[in-house]
Amino acid sequence: MTGRRLVHSELEPFNLQMYGLDEFTALLHEAGFAAVTVHADYQVGQPPTAHTRVQTLEAAVP
């Protein structure tokens, strides 16, 4: 890579909205979803804990 240099760069805005679990669950209910279930670490039926790395929300429309 010797002798190579950056000659141009471009930045684009990237907006990312972070939601807490309770807040996102409330948004799903507000949007008309019911029976919202949260699964931890891709394990169906396992509730999230403080050590959970991935949360999956499952919701259905009535």
Q: Check whether 6 has a pLDDT greater than 60.
A: yes
Q: In 3D, which of 19, 14, 21, 11 has the Cα closest to residue 52?
A: 21
Averaged over 41-52, what is the pLDDT?
A: 95
* Mean pLDDT score of the chain: 93
Q: Check whether 1 has a pLDDT greater than 60.
A: no
The pLDDT of residue 48 is: 93
The pLDDT of residue 56 is: 95
Confidence of residue 44 (pLDDT cuts 50, 70, 90): very high
Tell me the Ramachandran region of residue 51: left when phi exceeds 0, alpha when psi lies from -120 to 50, beta otherwise.
Answer: alpha
pTM of the model: 0.67
